[in-house]
């Protein structure tokens, strides 16, 4: 059993400011000399980049469906063993999704800080806070933080609307909320914001001065999983895996990379944007990202395109996810109509749309088991290629995604969460 102060930052809905608040809290406590470990609930790549920059430590996902309870418990136990504070950013609204942020809070006894966007709201603020705090009796509420508040008098009105048993942690004013700009998939990547550290330090100072969140929350007891997670067999021992990693391909779960290394793989990062030569690799991992924002550069890096084509022609393994799959198509067209020639390994084309095409949690069935992950994309795919199988969404209203397999190539829109089934992953990457 390990004890560590912990707090889950949630809200009534998306867009309330959870990432900004969590990042500011992480930087505040880091600047006070504490070791802060942050988690993100659900399948997300962009928020963790901001949270890593704020905390100075790797950020991992907590997802009861993709990873399972024992996996989440192990991650929290390991963090509690070395951290002075654990922060967890929720996903969507507190009770949204199956499983939800509330399910994580209840499963591990983590107190909840509710961030509520108070724009154009007065006494109704208290009603929303009361509903969040009482909807599920198995949750422990640490308190309420008002975000995007217009003035000090507005803050006083909001505080007065709260039930006496709901702690008030303060107000963040509207002019203080420009931390990270957004684009179609969410926030921009942290390394694209030149002055992100200055912004984070500014928010941390404001939090220290204007909220009651500069002291540690209550400690939570984290236990190791009841059934010890078995050490992974070295089924990828000495397998050299080249991992695409740059501004076009950056949607990578840290847990995925850790798993590959735990199975004995040797990882080598490379940039399809900037490198001319592919590392001498047995297998290739092309994760998702923003290839549509780098069409010209990807299209004109002819030597890299030839190297990846040669890798495929040699019958070597390729795992491509979402943006990585788009890179393998014949062409990719952005939302303004600009088209770029891609790999032409998979016959077909994709065009970016103005609306979300598909999202949600999915599983895929492979010869040696089920692999879980999620899809979230704005592109529409047109291809004559027959899919080898279709994914199974967790909700009937969601659309299945095709999985394309050609020899040792596996491509789909799914961002796979490798810890959900290491045996399947090992088979995909084995030469």
Q: What is the rounded distance in angstroms from the CA atom of residue 124 to the CA atom of residue 120? A: 10
The residues, ordered by sequence, that sit 6+ positions from 85 with a Cβ below 8 Å of its Cβ are: 4, 5, 6, 7, 29, 34, 35, 36, 37, 216, 217
Backbone angles phi, psi at 254, to 5 degrees: -60, -35
**Strand 402-406 to strand 409-412: parallel, antiparallel, or no bridges (unpaired)?**
antiparallel
**What's the CA gap between 207 and 192, in Å, rounded?**
24
Closest by CA position to 414, among listed 366, 367, 368: 366
User: Which residues lie closer than 8 Å to 54 by C-beta, 6 or more apart?
Assistant: 22, 23, 24, 26, 27, 30, 38, 200
Output the CA–CA distances (angstroms, integers) from residue 320 to 37, 80, 110, 312, 341, in the order listed. Answer: 30, 34, 36, 12, 17
Whether the CB-CB separation of 417 and 373 falls below 8 Å is answered with: yes
Burial readout 388-405 (b: 16 or more C-beta within 10 A, e: otherwise)? eeebebeeeebeebbbbe
Q: Which of 7, 171, 257, 322 is catalytic?
A: 322
Q: How far from the centroid of its chain's Cα atoms is residue 359's Cα?
A: 14
Instruction: Respond yes or no: is residue 72 known to be catalytic.
Output: no
Q: Which two tokens stand for residue 8?
A: 């889950």
Q: Which residues are catalytic?
A: 322
């Amino acid at each position: 059993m390990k004890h560590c102060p912990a707090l889950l930052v949630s809200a009534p809905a998306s867009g309330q400011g959870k990432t900004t608040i969590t990042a500011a809290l992480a930087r505040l406590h880091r600047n006070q000399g504490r070791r802060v470990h942050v988690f993100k609930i659900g399948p997300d790549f962009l928020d963790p980049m901001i949270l890593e920059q704020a905390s100075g430590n790797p950020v991992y996902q907590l997802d009861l469906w993709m990873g399972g309870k024992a996996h989440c418990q192990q991650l929290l136990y390991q963090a509690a063993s070395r951290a002075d504070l654990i922060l967890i950013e929720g996903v969507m609204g507190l009770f949204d999704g199956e499983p939800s942020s509330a399910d994580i809070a209840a499963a591990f006894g983590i107190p909840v800080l509710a961030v509520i966007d108070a724009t154009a709201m007065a006494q109704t603020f208290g009603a929303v806070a009361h509903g969040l705090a009482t909807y599920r009796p198995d949750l422990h509420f640490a308190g309420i933080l008002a975000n995007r508040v217009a003035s000090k008098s507005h803050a006083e009105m909001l505080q007065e609307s709260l039930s006496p048993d709901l702690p008030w942690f303060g107000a963040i004013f509207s002019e203080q909320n420009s931390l990270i700009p957004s684009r179609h998939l969410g926030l921009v990547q942290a390394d694209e914001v030149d002055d992100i550290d200055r912004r984070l330090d500014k928010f941390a100072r404001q939090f220290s001065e204007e909220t009651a969140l500069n002291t540690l929350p209550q400690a939570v007891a984290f236990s190791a999983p009841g059934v010890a997670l078995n050490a992974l067999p070295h089924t990828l021992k000495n397998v050299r895996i080249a991992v695409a990693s740059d501004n076009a391909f950056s949607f990578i779960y840290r847990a995925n990379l850790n798993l590959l290394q735990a199975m004995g793989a040797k990882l080598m990062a490379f940039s399809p944007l900037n490198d001319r030569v592919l590392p001498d690799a047995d297998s290739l991992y092309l994760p998702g990202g923003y290839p549509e924002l780098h069409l010209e550069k990807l299209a004109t890096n002819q030597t890299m395109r030839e190297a990846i084509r040669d890798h495929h022609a040699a019958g070597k393994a390729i795992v491509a996810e979402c943006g990585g799959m788009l890179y393998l198509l014949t062409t990719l067209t952005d939302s303004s109509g600009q088209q770029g020639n891609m790999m032409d390994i998979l016959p077909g084309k994709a065009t970016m749309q103005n609306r979300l095409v598909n999202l949600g949690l999915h599983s895929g069935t492979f010869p040696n088991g089920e692999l879980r992950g999620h899809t979230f994309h704005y592109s529409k795919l047109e291809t004559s290629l027959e899919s080898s199988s279709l994914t199974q969404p967790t909700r009937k209203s969601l659309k299945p995604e095709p999985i394309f397999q050609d020899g040792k190539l596996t491509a789909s829109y799914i961002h796979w969460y490798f810890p959900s089934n290491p045996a399947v992953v090992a088979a995909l990457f084995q030469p």
